[in-house]
Structure 1
């Protein structure tokens, strides 16, 4: 099998859920737009958001590696990746590339027409922004002065302030490349340097937790603060007239300091779940923006009574990799995504503006929200392990139910209210160490059925959370082992449970004491997935195989083998024709259910943890190990003609695909002509499957059926008004060149040889097609004539057949060769209807001529014999098939 570089069905589209990384954001005020733009790093790309509506405006091009540092000015956004510095215009146009560093750059500072960069080898370089030339290079000794922070004090012309790991500060003049002054420091590493609105004053954050306001001109410390909420990671000053300094910590807290009273004004605990990477206050506005490596970007407004800030807008994704994804609406636009950070998110595949966070799982939502310390709350629930939903009654009550790792309690969520529900579903008489292992919400949305590790199966009401009974007897649980899967049909008549005891049990929904059917399985089941519309139940077995069961007949209908690792997820497509599965071997397989064959397979860089196929069939959503986003794969069959053939998984060369990115990419398999190479040769049906079968042509019906009624067509298309000749054009006599008008009467007397007839040297009345027929010597020559005849219109065919008669310029030989051509068509068993049409019009036009000529009659007898044999063969097959269909219909 030829090597394939892409999937036959799926192609990478884009990724959802990425907002920010550990790199501080860049804020740029665009005067022409009248808006501040925020640029955040998301790995190899950076996003640009507008502050007015906090929506995504653009995505940059791909960098050679992850972005490690960012900065910006009024004209460019500067990013660092793999020792190179890139300058971007309008968020997506690459303008400049600055090279010269031999190690990663971790500090950037635009400085007028220059760009200052410092790498990890303690080398400072200054580049000219326009011509990309290197103007200055300074090498610092890391043992004496390891640069950790940089700042340009306002009103200090051509000067920058450098902070070091040793605690010293140095003031440099970059124009003369001279050291102006050295500050003794405080004996501990300098983390942040931020210029204050007051002249000569800067704020210095030390590793020891102190924040010092220092006067540079006098080299005196004005006062200092002690930060008790972790190390300071960023500093900023309010620029709207309020004497307030804001600090962000490595623990995710934000503290507002009153500079006049020299005390803490207010604080925001757990503003972010992880380190606050960037913090900046806006000029002349009571606004502040922060970002964090917890994948969030937040805007705060200072309007609290104590001078503090409250959350105004936010964009956030999962702080830890998501593990569950599922399409939750028939439109396929919204996804439910659960992550290891205990949160549940709604992600929209059309626009990120509609992305919402439903919060984090906790025992008491109101109390946890009031205390605002979810991360340290002992009552917080573990991450979500199972998810089920039904949106039929979403407006009335909770529509989502979830299980949590290692817990027996089940929680509910409200999709309509975008928050966690109030119900905690706990079964009665639950033993110690029992865990909830599987669940399903019924198709009506009224009940949720939960299976447990001790074999119990319980039913709860979604509206009230009241316990509604169990499946099985009191002294005998539903299964002897753990329940691995619980499903209900579309009519709420049956409940299907699969256990670790190699049994698949079918229960009536109402009478739940004993199952009405038990199916013995060959392998233990690890998870299940039911397509309620088709009634097909997919059982994922622990031996890495998948079994399909028809719940109507309670029989195994298909079995798929091929995965080499634990299967993490399976899902059906919208038409229940495909079963898509993924496992820890990093492969994604598509199985054709009617044929029971593997039709597509591809591998990815990291194993998939969950998959979900859109109800409309346009996207496949996947989550991966160690990735914070949800990746979308487009279905090629919606916009391309793709031919699917069975794949032998043992011999196929599995293509490895890159994960989709936030920016559209050109597929790797597009050639210079713009065509896409799918890796497989397009399947073409043969001209004839077997020699004993009769094959029809692919020509439209009008090309051969109209030949039989050509006279009627001509009569119908005849114009209603008679054709009138145009008026004679005026006669012009050539004139002579003179001042007076005179006619040249003798102009045409001597031209020519006295005749007006143009007679070619080789005069013949036989048409070009007739000459081609006369020259036929073998079967291949006749086939060429047949192919030419297929291209002619019905009117042209009528003219060619009519012109074969000797009365209008043809010959007996041409007619004989034409019947030989029909004889060849009938012997080949191809183009059956064309041969009959051509024979019909030929006999209609030349009946008298054939009757008068013995050679034509002999040839016609052979043609008649072949035509009769072909028709008898076709008639017998048709009558046999009609008899079989009639018998089946009567049964």
Structure 2
């Protein structure tokens, strides 16, 4: 199998440091280069000239202003990409940290510095107009207020200054207690309010008329607020932060408070575990190091949702502000393992998760997008220092089986949250950490494995051990494909073993990874096993052949993989990466060769989105062309092959009279205007003009011979030639190119009344006989023969040679149908037996 990553059309070679946009283009700075995007997809211009990293961008009319960390200030002409103006500021005396264009100030730019001073420049004349002495604190934010000449200034000490730049007069100032000002925004729908962001994720709202704090919203983001903007003339505030979230807040609360209206957010820390949720493959559940559980849609981002962060006590967390409890004290650690089921998720919680270092497993509700009501804990007699390590939900959705670090494997009822027993003597299923648990489809069997290198099989109801297998090495993780009964084990010696749970024997062993295996997943049909390891490879193993059929290298080691239930996508998450990557299954898009890879195969590196710019379309290599499987024309002499033509080409042949009757026009056709001259045409059913050559124009006689009046078509001529050669490929191809009406005309012209003769009728019978003998185009042969007999049955009965040919053809039809009927009966018998065995 082969995969290709689903990535955006253009990415930048370095991390994006700042972005800006005007009415036509979007600008992004990555390293020393600024790129201009049209429709957020196509790179239409690159501005290269900076010697250090660009950190500030400001579009201004037909120009773009960029400032780098070395003090270079460049004004670009957006249309041509040329430099319009270049200035240099000494970072030691005036380090540009913020800039803005004051309203109504044509060609003017206000610059703020980390030393605290401000400068007003005219970029058209490249002159310094005025210098503001500052407030002995570095400027972090400059923001235009709704009033002309008034600017909001945020400083590194947390001070907010409302200043009139025309009069150089400070109107008012505020101070927030949360550190530097990271964002400023003025409300424009009526109330005179300014919002200020902080590094802690809090936002304060200040009343400009009363000159006091109006309200504050704590923990609007989990990290620093990077930007805040009020929608023009609307009570809406848009914020974004380093927690990988953008949120929209609406001001409809008493006292001027805001509530969350909508949000788009991802993980603020790399995801560690991902699983597809549901049978349609459209949703991916993801647990990250930030402690949140989120659902991402492969269809559109508007279907994404966050299930929130696990909490020790939900009621206490809601009241934490009243009780003075810190924001993170009641939150659970990150999720290390989880399992989900669809069977009863509308009735009760359908997700169970284990947290790092926590003895209790939590339940989650996917439909309500929240944490569940139960904390699944073992009895009080269990070891206090234990922690839940792995979990699974039964196929019926009623029970959860949870393994712990002390060797316990407990069963819980998800409806009531009650403990329903444990496996093993004295509550110990293994003499070490439980690495994996699984249950079969019918809830008859429970399989567990642990650090004691044992694989144990238990009866689900009686909790009695049936059998155990000793592994060559300690299993690191376990995965069961319930439909096929194949159990995959990843061992600490970097090998894989596949166990059949029916026979309780190892059926496949795979070796090839050069690092620990982080995760694995089965394809929906259980044919492939996909693994990802610390050697930065993603490998696909074919279970029937026991060989490696695909392997590719990525720049960051995959930590989790999940195959879509529909088989179209493979989802992967990687170390130090916030995204979830989707890889397309190429075997669904076209022919892909699945030849076993050699033992010394060196995988090629697949570039993830954001690594390099993908400017060249992917070309098909010679090796891929050689690996493409080409099906033969006929699989066997006892089988038949249908044509690939649409059914309308042959199923409607016997109903042409009814179709013509229904399509008969109401009004008679109007005769066309007589042409002033006549052009010679080629004899045949299809009217075509005959253009004589230059030599024929002088010697052409005006007397017509008898042969020129013949109406024999190209098909009739090819059929007559095929009767002598014995190959009927040419006339058959001509019939395939014709529509139903044209086929009817061609077959009608084979008789003597239509310009043919009895020899053409016999030749057509021989063509049908050759089609049945080869076994190809079985449907076309029957369709053509039915129309042929409908048109010429009376004339065929009077011809001795044609009658003999029809008798031979009838015998061949009966023999071929007898073979097909026997095959159909055998297949139906096997299918009925398989259904009865399942029931």
TM-score by length of 2: 0.76
Say yes or no: does 1:574 pair with 2:520.
no
Tell me what 1:135 maps to: 84
1:665-744 counterparts in 2 under 5 A? 668-670=617-619, 678=624, 680-684=626-630
1:257-296 counterparts in 2 under 5 A? 257-296=206-245
Q: How many angstroms apart in 2 are the aligned matches of 1:256 and 1:753?
A: 99
SS, match of residue 429 in structure 2:
coil
SS, match of residue 314 in structure 1:
strand
Tell me what 1:844 maps to: none
Q: How many angstroms apart in 2 are the aligned matches of 1:641 and 1:366?
A: 54
1:91-490 counterparts in 2 under 5 A? 91-92=40-41, 96-371=45-320, 376-427=327-378, 428-474=380-426, 477-490=428-441
| Equivalent of 2:539 in 568, 573, 589 | 589
SS, match of residue 191 in structure 2:
coil
SS, match of residue 522 in structure 1:
coil
Say yes or no: does 1:632 pair with 2:625.
no
SS, match of residue 517 in structure 1:
strand
Q: CA deviation at 1:527?
A: 1.0
In structure 2, relative to structure 1, the CA distance for the partners of 1:699 and 1:616 (3 Å cut) is: closer
SS, match of residue 68 in structure 1:
strand
Q: CA deviation at 1:619?
A: 1.4
Q: CA deviation at 1:424?
A: 0.9
* Equivalent pair of 2:592/2:624 in contact (CA under 8 Å): no
* Equivalent pair of 2:11/2:614 in contact (CA under 8 Å): no
* Equivalent pair of 1:632/1:660 in contact (CA under 8 Å): no
In structure 2, relative to structure 1, the CA distance for the partners of 1:142 and 1:377 (3 Å cut) is: closer
Q: How many angstroms apart in 2 are the aligned matches of 1:529 and 1:409?
A: 22
Deviates more, 1:611-620 or 1:114-123: 114-123
Say yes or no: does 1:13 pair with 2:26.
no
Q: CA deviation at 1:185?
A: 2.0
* Equivalent pair of 2:593/2:627 in contact (CA under 8 Å): no
Deviates more, 1:184-193 or 1:382-391: 184-193
Q: How many angstroms apart in 2 are the aligned matches of 1:752 and 1:645?
A: 65
Which whole-Å deviations, capped at 9, do the CAs of 1:194-234 have from their partners, x for residues lacking one? 23333433222222222223332343333332221121111
Say yes or no: does 1:559 pair with 2:534.
no
Q: CA deviation at 1:414?
A: 0.8
* Equivalent pair of 1:368/1:377 in contact (CA under 8 Å): no
Say yes or no: does 1:605 pair with 2:555.
yes
Q: Which of the pair has more CA radius of gyration?
A: 1
SS, match of residue 366 in structure 1:
helix
SS, match of residue 678 in structure 1:
helix
Tell me what 2:451 maps to: 500
SS, match of residue 178 in structure 2:
coil
Tell me what 1:867 maps to: none
1:644-659 counterparts in 2 under 5 A? 644-659=593-608
Q: CA deviation at 1:66?
A: 3.5
* Equivalent pair of 2:183/2:228 in contact (CA under 8 Å): yes
In structure 2, relative to structure 1, the CA distance for the partners of 1:262 and 1:621 (3 Å cut) is: same
Q: CA deviation at 1:297?
A: 0.6
Q: How many angstroms apart in 1 are the aligned matches of 2:719 and 2:97?
A: 93
Gaps spanning 5+ residues in structure 1: where?
Answer: 1-6, 15-43, 46-60, 701-750, 761-766, 797-807, 811-833, 835-847, 850-878
Q: How many angstroms apart in 1 are the aligned matches of 2:406 and 2:702?
A: 113
Q: How many angstroms apart in 2 are the aligned matches of 1:664 and 1:470?
A: 54
Q: How many angstroms apart in 2 are the aligned matches of 1:596 and 1:753?
A: 75
In structure 2, relative to structure 1, the CA distance for the partners of 1:253 and 1:698 (3 Å cut) is: closer
Which whole-Å deviations, capped at 9, do the CAs of 1:839-879 have from their partners, x for residues lacking one? xxxxxxxxx99xxxxxxxxxxxxxxxxxxxxxxxxxxxxx9
Which whole-Å deviations, capped at 9, do the CAs of 1:262-294 have from their partners, x for residues lacking one? 322211111111111111112222211111121
Deviates more, 1:304-313 or 1:345-354: 304-313
* Equivalent pair of 1:567/1:581 in contact (CA under 8 Å): yes
Q: How many angstroms apart in 2 are the aligned matches of 1:564 and 1:11?
A: 23
Q: CA deviation at 1:355?
A: 0.7
Tell me what 1:823 maps to: none
Tell me what 1:726 maps to: none
Tell me what 1:518 maps to: 468
SS, match of residue 317 in structure 2:
helix
Q: How many angstroms apart in 2 are the aligned matches of 1:223 and 1:787?
A: 93
Q: How many angstroms apart in 2 are the aligned matches of 1:288 and 1:177?
A: 36
TM-score by length of 1: 0.72
Q: CA deviation at 1:584?
A: 1.3
1:28-67 counterparts in 2 under 5 A? 61-67=10-16
SS, match of residue 194 in structure 1:
strand
* Equivalent pair of 1:374/1:380 in contact (CA under 8 Å): no
* Equivalent pair of 1:562/1:649 in contact (CA under 8 Å): no
Q: CA deviation at 1:677?
A: 7.5
What do you get for the CA RMSD once the two structures are aligned?
5.5
Which whole-Å deviations, capped at 9, do the CAs of 1:796-847 have from their partners, x for residues lacking one? 9xxxxxxxxxxx9x9xxxxxxxxxxxxxxxxxxxxxxx9xxxxxxxxxxxxx
1:798-809 counterparts in 2 under 5 A? none
Q: CA deviation at 1:345?
A: 0.6
More RCO (CA 8 Å, sep 6+) = 1
In structure 2, relative to structure 1, the CA distance for the partners of 1:641 and 1:281 (3 Å cut) is: closer
SS, match of residue 222 in structure 2:
coil
In structure 2, relative to structure 1, the CA distance for the partners of 1:759 and 1:187 (3 Å cut) is: same
In structure 2, relative to structure 1, the CA distance for the partners of 1:105 and 1:755 (3 Å cut) is: closer
Q: How many angstroms apart in 2 are the aligned matches of 1:321 and 1:193?
A: 33
* Equivalent pair of 1:670/1:676 in contact (CA under 8 Å): no
Q: CA deviation at 1:82?
A: 4.1
Tell me what 2:819 maps to: none
Q: CA deviation at 1:603?
A: 1.8
* Equivalent pair of 2:12/2:612 in contact (CA under 8 Å): no
Q: CA deviation at 1:497?
A: 1.1
Tell me what 1:735 maps to: none
Which whole-Å deviations, capped at 9, do the CAs of 1:349-383 have from their partners, x for residues lacking one? 11111111010011112222332699842232111
Q: How many angstroms apart in 1 are the aligned matches of 2:442 and 2:417?
A: 22
Tell me what 1:50 maps to: none
Q: How many angstroms apart in 1 are the aligned matches of 2:622 and 2:87?
A: 51
Q: How many angstroms apart in 2 are the aligned matches of 1:624 and 1:375?
A: 32
Q: CA deviation at 1:503?
A: 1.7
* Equivalent pair of 2:243/2:268 in contact (CA under 8 Å): yes
Q: How many angstroms apart in 2 are the aligned matches of 1:541 and 1:195?
A: 61
Tell me what 1:865 maps to: none
